[in-house]
């Protein structure tokens, strides 16, 4: 079957719901003979009987039950679409498909997306996490409306994109309580020889952190590279090493992962970007994200009050 005839599928769906051709023909305003002929054509197309007659009633065959499951999903969605199209354009939900680099902490991602979620128009948000390079390819294929990233991919090879700086935060260091207790005093010299957990060694902030440590005459031992913002904190909680995270979320990091804040390093900043297709921001949700950037350092001060 090269192409499914949706009208025939709809007739089959109504017959299944009504339980008889007679009742379905009344609902569809078709003659019973016409509807029977349409059903026969559909059965020929799908390669099997869809109904059996049992005691003057129609009973679905195994093939009929399988197709009915798909038809239920299809016509439930078309019903939702019909309801949505009946709304005034300004009242229709706005779909926003956002890609988020896996190394971005989920609370940070929430702050970045929040401007789009408070629009007067309702927003249906779809989020996808992954490697920045893969997300940018999805953006090029128009599967995503925006990509939130903490590093700059090679954009030239993918197509015309625009990069919007949306946030920045100083970096703080964290560790399990037993390890942190020995590192707070005498910081940063106390870090010498201590184990370090890295989000990703190609992340710009990591290079800045290593440069800052080098300037302080500190040399740490790289224990692991974990390109997932949540998993690295789990390793840190278990005492495997010191890890870095944006200062703005330090209270949440300490609470959720049962670690302690060692120190804030204002000289090391984590910069975040929104990547979009082209220069014009036609999408209302994307425009809110890019044009209303979050001041994370100010937010961090507010959270400490």
pLDDT tens per residue across span 247-289: 988 999 999 999 999 999 999 988 889 999 877 788 889 999 9
> How high is the pLDDT of residue 282?
80
Report CA torsion sign: 31, 37, 39, 41.
Answer: negative
> How high is the pLDDT of residue 120?
86
> How high is the pLDDT of residue 228?
78
d(CA 245, CA 265): 11
d(CA 236, CA 53): 65
In a domain, 112, yes or no: yes
Average pLDDT in the 56-60 region? 86
> How high is the pLDDT of residue 206?
83
Identify any residues that bridge with 171 across adjacent strands, giving them in sequence order. Answer: 246, 265
> How high is the pLDDT of residue 207?
83
Classify 187 as helix, strand or coil. coil
Same domain for 22 and 141, yes or no, is no
pTM listed for this prediction:
0.63
> How high is the pLDDT of residue 48?
92
Mean pLDDT computed over every residue of the chain: 86
Does residue 304 surpass a pLDDT of 50? no
In a domain, 191, yes or no: yes
* Per-residue CA distances from 66 to 9, 19, 60, 132 (Å): 12, 16, 9, 39
Same domain for 65 and 205, yes or no, is no
In a domain, 1, yes or no: no
Does residue 108 surpass a pLDDT of 90? no
Name the DSSP class of 249. Answer: G
pLDDT bin (cut points 50, 70, 90) of residue 128 is: very high
Does residue 80 surpass a pLDDT of 80? no
Same domain for 73 and 98, yes or no, is no
d(CA 150, CA 200): 11
Average pLDDT in the 194-209 region? 81
Tokens for 195, please give them: 């184990």
Could you read off the pLDDT of 152-201 as tens digits, one per residue?
766 554 457 888 888 888 899 999 999 999 999 999 999 999 999 987 65
Does residue 302 surpass a pLDDT of 50? no
Q: Per the structure, how many domains does the chain have?
A: 3
Same domain for 180 and 264, yes or no, is yes
The radius of gyration of the chain from alpha carbons, rounded to an integer in Å, stands at 28
Same domain for 241 and 95, yes or no, is no
Identify any residues that bridge with 173 across adjacent strands, giving them in sequence order. Answer: 244, 263
Does residue 219 surpass a pLDDT of 90? yes
Average pLDDT in the 235-244 region? 95
d(CA 7, CA 13): 10
b/e sequence 55-84, b meaning 16+ C-beta within 10 Å: eeebebeeebeebbeebeeebeeeeeeeee
In a domain, 119, yes or no: yes
Same domain for 226 and 256, yes or no, is yes
d(CA 164, CA 146): 10
pLDDT bin (cut points 50, 70, 90) of residue 300 is: low
Does residue 146 surpass a pLDDT of 60? yes
Same domain for 188 and 280, yes or no, is no
d(CA 193, CA 170): 23
In a domain, 284, yes or no: yes
160, 132 in Cβ contact below 8 A?
A: no
Same domain for 285 and 159, yes or no, is yes
In a domain, 299, yes or no: yes
Looking up residue 48, the CATH number of its domain turns out to be 1.10.10.10
Q: Which domain, by its residues, includes 290?
A: 91-165+272-303
Average pLDDT in the 100-121 region? 88
Same domain for 10 and 132, yes or no, is no
Looking up residue 132, the CATH number of its domain turns out to be 3.40.190.10
In a domain, 231, yes or no: yes
Cis peptide bond N-terminal to 262, omega within 30? no
Tokens for 55, please give them: 């005691």
Same domain for 155 and 288, yes or no, is yes
Q: Of 24, 54, 85, which residue sits at a domain end?
A: 85
> How high is the pLDDT of residue 296?
62
Share above pLDDT 90 across residues of the chain, in percent, rounded to a whole number: 50
Same domain for 266 and 276, yes or no, is no
In a domain, 109, yes or no: yes
Does residue 238 surpass a pLDDT of 50? yes
Same domain for 121 and 253, yes or no, is no
Element counts in the chain: helices (H) and strands (E): 12, 10
Does residue 305 surpass a pLDDT of 50? no
Counting every residue written for the chain, the total comes to 305
The label of the residue with tokens 């025939």 reads 8
């Amino acid at each position: 079957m090269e192409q499914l005839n949706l009208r025939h599928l709809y007739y089959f769906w109504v017959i299944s719901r009504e339980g008889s051709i007679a009742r379905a023909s009344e609902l569809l305003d078709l003659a019973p003979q016409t509807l029977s002929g349409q059903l026969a054509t559909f059965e020929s197309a799908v390669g099997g009987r869809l109904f059996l007659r049992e005691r003057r009633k129609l009973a679905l065959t195994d093939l009929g039950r399988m197709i009915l499951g798909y038809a239920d999903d299809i016509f439930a969605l078309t019903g939702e679409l019909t309801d949505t199209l009946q709304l005034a354009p300004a009242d229709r939900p706005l779909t926003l498909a956002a890609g988020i680099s896996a190394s971005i902490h989920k609370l940070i991602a929430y702050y970045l997306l929040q401007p789009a979620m408070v629009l007067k128009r309702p927003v249906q948000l779809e989020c996808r996490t992954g490697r920045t390079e893969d997300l940018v390819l999805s953006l090029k294929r128009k599967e995503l409306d925006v990509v939130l990233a903490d590093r700059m991919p090679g954009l030239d090879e993918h197509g015309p994109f625009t990069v919007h700086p949306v946030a920045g935060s100083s970096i703080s260091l964290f560790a399990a309580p037993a390890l942190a207790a020995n590192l707070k005093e005498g910081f940063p010299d106390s870090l010498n020889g201590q184990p370090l957990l890295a989000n990703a060694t190609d992340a710009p902030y990591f290079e800045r952190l290593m440069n800052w440590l080098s300037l302080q005459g500190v040399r740490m031992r790289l224990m692991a590279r974990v390109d997932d913002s949540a998993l690295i904190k789990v390793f840190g909680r278990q005492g495997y090493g010191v890890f870095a995270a944006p200062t703005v979320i330090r209270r949440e990091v300490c609470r959720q992962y049962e670690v302690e804040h060692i120190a804030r390093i204002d000289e090391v900043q984590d910069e975040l970007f929104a990547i979009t297709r082209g220069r014009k921001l036609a999408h209302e949700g994307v425009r809110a994200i890019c044009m209303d950037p979050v001041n994370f350092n100010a937010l961090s001060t507010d959270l400490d009050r």
